């Protein structure tokens, strides 16, 4: 069991390993999950989302939604793939996004740019360059806000289980 305030780090040795971690995560996530991705350009955010989509049984191709800001991809659970890279993206989140707490799974690339608008609980994944093809992924669950009540705590526990279920490829 993952405890309060716990972080978990995993090493990915290749883009394929990063996709595999994403696929494992996609299989473990539940409806209402929010995954916030943080990392430099080329750190593997979209690669991780490709695997996550596979784990959610999404058949559409996954690519960065930079020019659309959000893509809705149907699967076992609908994947709402956001990109907060562009200036002005915060207005999308300021207006309140029902997708961020809905029946699907929301993933936000460049989440640090819109962090103050992202609800909790959420799973934050920081991707960092470790070597040419290697990445370090640091995962942590940010706890539920008290206003979310029992449903928020249940989702928080589900996110913790999903994080704990990951095995390094």
How far is residue 10's CA from residue 78's CA, in Å, rounded to a whole number?
A: 26
**What's the pLDDT score for residue 3?**
42
Question: Strands (DSSP E) along the chain, which ranges?
Answer: 7-12, 34-39, 70-73, 79-83, 105-109, 122-129, 135-142
- Tell me the whole-structure pTM to 2 decimals: 0.88
**What's the pLDDT score for residue 7?**
85
CA distances from 133 to 129, 136, 165 (A): 8, 10, 24
Torsion sign across C-alpha atoms 79, 63, 52, 145: negative
Vertex 11 angle, CA 9 and 16, to 5°: 130
Question: Strands (DSSP E) along 16-147, which ranges?
Answer: 34-39, 70-73, 79-83, 105-109, 122-129, 135-142
**What's the pLDDT score for residue 167?**
86
pLDDT in tens, the chain (169 residues): 334 457 899 999 999 999 999 999 999 999 999 999 999 998 999 999 999 999 999 998 887 765 667 788 999 999 999 888 765 555 555 555 555 657 899 999 999 988 888 888 999 999 999 988 899 999 999 998 887 778 888 888 999 889 888 887 7
Q: 8 - beta bridge partners?
A: 139
Per the document, the length of the chain is 169
**Residue range 7-165, CATH number:** 3.40.50.300
């Amino acid at each position: 069991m993952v405890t309060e305030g716990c972080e978990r780090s995993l090493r990915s040795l290749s883009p394929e390993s990063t996709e595999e971690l994403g696929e494992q995560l996609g299989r473990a996530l539940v409806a209402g999950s929010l995954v916030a991705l943080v990392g430099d350009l080329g750190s593997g955010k979209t690669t991780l989302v490709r695997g996550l989509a596979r784990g959610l049984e999404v058949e559409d191709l996954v690519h960065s939604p930079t020019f659309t800001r959000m893509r809705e991809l149907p699967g076992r659970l609908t994947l709402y793939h956001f990109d907060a890279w562009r200036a002005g993206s915060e207005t999308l989140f300021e207006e309140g996004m029902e997708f961020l707490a809905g029946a699907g799974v929301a993933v936000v690339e460049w989440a640090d740019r819109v962090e103050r608008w992202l609800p909790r609980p959420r799973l934050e994944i920081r991707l960092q360059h470790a070597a040419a093809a290697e990445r370090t992924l640091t995962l942590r669950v940010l706890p539920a806000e008290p206003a979310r009540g029992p449903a928020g705590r249940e989702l928080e526990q589900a996110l913790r289980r999903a994080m704990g279920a990951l095995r390094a490829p």
